[in-house]
Amino acid sequence: MEFIAGLLDYSKPEIPEIEDLSNMKIIKQGRAHIKTIAFTGKEVVGNINLKTRGIEPLMQRSQIGFQPDALILKGYQHVRNMKRDDIDKFSVLSGWGYDMIKLFAEKL
């Protein structure tokens, strides 16, 4: 079971309040297995409606190279078919290992 994981630009030591997350931009985004939550040593402490809080999934392409059936996605939502020049405009919606989001956060 996977979900779209997004890394937000939040670096305070305390758990964020809903207001702290409003209108934040996603820095990195990928497909992650549900076990990622337990593997990183954290737990789900709540949920928010991303759309009403001004948080939008990144637009990404469905694959590395160009193929006629490749897609531009916003999260899991199909936005349009990919064009050749989209390779330079969008990152790939890739699958992440359990520890990837933690490694991205530590790097930033």
The domain segmentation of the chain, as residue ranges, is 2-107
Q: Which of 77, 104, 73 is nearest to 86 (CA)?
A: 73
Predicted confidence (pLDDT) per residue in 1-45, tens digit: 999 999 998 888 888 888 999 999 999 999 999 999 888 877 788
The span from the CA of 108 to the CA of 103, in Å, is 9
Distances (CA, A) of 31 to 38, 57, 60: 16, 12, 11
Distances (CA, A) of 101 to 25, 37, 47, 67: 15, 10, 18, 28
Query: 65: pLDDT confidence band, cut at 50, 70 and 90?
Result: confident
